[in-house]
Amino acid sequence: MVKKKLVVLTGAGISAESGVATFRGSGGLWEGYDIMEVASPEGWRKDFRLVLEFYNARRKNIASVEPNNAHTSLVELEEDYDVFVITQNIDNLHEQAGSSNVLHLHGEITKACSSKNKNAVTEIGFKDIKEGDVCPEGFQMRPYIVWFGEDVPLIPTAAELVSQADILLIIGTSLEVYPAAGLINFSKPNVPIYVIDPSPLNGKLNVPNEVMHLRQNAQEGMEKLKGLLS
């Protein structure tokens, strides 16, 4: 029997419950920083040392946490569904939990790339990127992250996955960051959409699909969802 394809869009809310500091909000990683100074090509050119420092701190935070029950629940769903995770998160918690298919829209904190060529990628784990760490061509290495003003190269792949979904699940994302938020528009009209997030939708999902909103955090919502899907 062919499994139904369950496509999952995840955002900061699922990782926050593991203790990963979010970028936005009070106490978020951007507090005290000008966003464009640490998350844009212009910021990199202005002061790449500040950018390295910022993401090295981010990497240390992620190294200290573990997947939570929401992450592991997605892995459990692979028994009955063909699960594909599309995440806006740069941590590797989905992989640590054991998810088989993970697509990172905004890059991966455990990788570095050449500041000259983003396709020259190196796995670094949770090590710092230091000034003087260079690619074989001699260019300074930078975080393998999609910054403001840069293309999101995996959007077409993600859109294709969403268009193939039999069920679409959205967890812990504000649905305000584009182009990621626009992926829901690629779902087929007959595909049910489940949203797990404590915040109100306030018209963010302007789609013809049947939408079930579970106003709970990621872990509680996933427990309820497993019952609904069983």
Residues with a catalytic annotation lie at: 106
Look-up: residue for tokens 């455990």? 110
Could you give the 3-state DSSP secondary structure of residue 199? coil
The phi and psi torsions of 8 (rounded to 5 degrees) equal -120, 125
Q: Which residues does 167 contact at the CB level (< 8 Å), separation at least 6?
A: 4, 5, 6, 7, 81, 191, 192, 194, 229
Could you give the 3-state DSSP secondary structure of residue 82? strand
DSSP run (H or E) holding 55: helix 48-63
